[in-house]
Structure 1
Amino acid sequence: MRFAFAGRCSTEDQQDPESSRAWQLTRATALVAPQGGEIVTEYFDAGLSRSVPWKRRPQGGMLLSALKDPHRGFDAVVIGEPHRAFYGNQFGNTFPLFVHYGVSLWVPEVGGPIDPDNEAHDVIMSVFAGMSKGERTRIKVRVRTSMGAQTKLEGRFLGGRPPYGYLIVPLGPHPNPAKAAEGKMLKGLVPDPVAAEVVRRIFREFLSGLGLFVIAEGLTRDGIPCPSAHDPARNPHRTGIAWSKSAVRVILTNPRYTGHQVWNKQRKDEILLDTNDVSMGHVGVMRWNPADQWIFSDDPVHTPLVDQETFTAAQELLAARGRGPQENKGRRSRNHYIFRGP
């Protein structure tokens, strides 16, 4: 029999894609070779999460399309590891296509081809797919819990762009021995000699009564580069022409200027790609968390640019200037529109 090998290596794996492909292919070959089988083609996806369904995987999608072709060049498909091939309900959404086109699916855990009429085979594959989903969920919970503890108890900088006004510097060897052996360093924030004073100026001017737009205009007029122009290498998607009102607001609302490390300001939600076709799976969407869900370090861990009293006063002033119910009267217009609502 001629076989197509199907495999996947995700971004979550700690081994390189070539090593992952090699051991999965070796396992698949060990299953079909004693039966006179030969692997004649491969469909291996690298760098994809297991949660991505087959039809959205480049190689997996090509394999599903090849099933329809009577001249496909292979008689059956073999996978090396069901945990990496199927996730959640993917087996139930994918295997019927193999049955429909008469292509058998071989799995090491079954010891050969999956029998569509064998209830035990269906249960085994469903269990492996469920275990795969559970494993990914456990990893996410473990990582998020660990990052929260590292922020709160250690005040560790967990990556990302530094806030305007700070620079990232190495603080010493990474506390993880394996990463330290690779030369990776623990990093932290130190004040930017130029931008730190701009941050302090923004807080002073705002608390003196100036509005966000006036502050932004003043910074631009004085020739002070806006955050994207100050660090263009980290902001290649922005023009950096001038300061904006939103840039000033972001600075005024960032609690890291008080010296505390902050994490969990955003989260990644997984939502259905197509509500009319659940088999298309989910996509990740970044959303803001409420402020009461942010995690702060217990103690200051880097040099503050403003004290806590100044920051709190700025938040209270921002809230007081916010649009209240009595101010929500709509936008005035010099023209009268007959279809305009009340």
Structure 2
Amino acid sequence: MARALGNSDHRALLARLATQAQREVIRARHRVLAAMHNQATQQGRHLGGRPPYGYQLVDAGPHPNPADARWGRRLQRLAPNPHTATHVTWTFQQRLAGHSIASIARNLNERGIPCPSSTDPDRNRHRTRGTWTRRTVAVILANPRYTGRQTWNRRANGTGNPRSTPALSTRAAHPALVTELDFVTTQQIRAPRPTNDGLL
């Protein structure tokens, strides 16, 4: 074996096979990611992961892939969580009314509303904070899933290939907690700039 590895032709063959294998891995990855992008945009399919605060996962029927169906896998979709959905709607209403993100977080804490990590501690063991923060509220206000559209790959860097292209379903895939108009309006609200009042 050592003698064979020392042969230059053999080393060249191994290098060629390794290159071909690497290319096939890349092609397979792109095929999978392109399929996931299509499932999210065209079918509005939930592709896994924790449901966002305000939603829960419910059964959506047999899996459309025959192989997965044979294994007993079923589709899941998002549905409003009866315990938390109203807090999401309230958060958007408060922001649309002109309240700051910090004041919304403070109000939620004062009212004793459990924050997302406290609501589902078993799935949020990596988060130790038990209170609402500005970041928590900001993440909710920036999530387009609350309009009823499915999303995938929101952290894409926009390089133009399926792996990096954010996906947004072309139509509603689950019940909305906020209208699209209100969501877009919320994104346009910015914190007021400080003025020189009182300094003159």
TM-score by length of 1: 0.53
Secondary structure class of the residue paired with 1:170:
strand
Q: Give the residue type in structure 2 aligned to 1:249.
A: A
Please state how far the C-alpha of 1:262 moved relative to its aligned partner.
0.8
CA distance in 2, matches of 1:289, 1:202: 29
Q: Is the 8 A contact 2:56 2:79 kept in 1?
A: yes
Q: Give the residue type in structure 1 aligned to 2:13.
A: I
Matched, 1:302 2:191: no
Q: How does 1:147-296 map to 2 (within 5 A)?
A: 147-267=36-156, 293-296=165-168
Give the counterpart of 2:28 among 118, 133, 139: 139
Considering fraction of residues, name the structure with more strand: 1
Matched, 1:321 2:191: yes
Q: How does 1:326-341 map to 2 (within 5 A)?
A: none
Please state how far the C-alpha of 1:266 moved relative to its aligned partner.
2.4
Q: Deviations over 1:207-250 (max 9, x none)?
A: 11111111101101101000000111110122242101000000
Q: Unpaired runs of 5+ in structure 2?
A: 195-200
Secondary structure class of the residue paired with 1:321:
coil
Q: Give the residue type in structure 2 aligned to 1:147.
A: M
Q: Is the 8 A contact 1:265 1:289 kept in 2?
A: no
Please state how far the C-alpha of 1:115 moved relative to its aligned partner.
4.0
Q: Is the 8 A contact 1:167 1:190 kept in 2?
A: yes
Q: Unpaired runs of 5+ in structure 1?
A: 1-75, 77-103, 105-112, 268-287, 328-342
CA distance in 2, matches of 1:289, 1:229: 34
CA distance in 2, matches of 1:214, 1:208: 12
Secondary structure class of the residue paired with 1:142:
helix
CA distance in 1, matches of 2:59, 2:136: 27
Please state how far the C-alpha of 1:289 moved relative to its aligned partner.
5.6
Give the equivalent residue in structure 2 for 1:271: none
- Runs of 4+ in structure 1 deviating by more than 2 angstroms, as ranges, are 320-323
Q: Is the 8 A contact 1:173 1:180 kept in 2?
A: yes
| Identity %, equivalent residues | 40
User: Superposition RMSD on alpha carbons, in Å?
Assistant: 1.9
Q: Deviations over 1:168-214 (max 9, x none)?
A: 11111111111111111111100001211000110111111111111
Q: How does 1:33-182 map to 2 (within 5 A)?
A: 104=2, 114-116=4-6, 118-182=7-71
Q: Deviations over 1:6-41 (max 9, x none)?
A: xxxxxxxxxxxxxxxxxxxxxxxxxxxxxxxxxxxx
TM-score by length of 2: 0.89
CA distance in 1, matches of 2:35, 2:47: 11
Please state how far the C-alpha of 1:322 moved relative to its aligned partner.
7.8
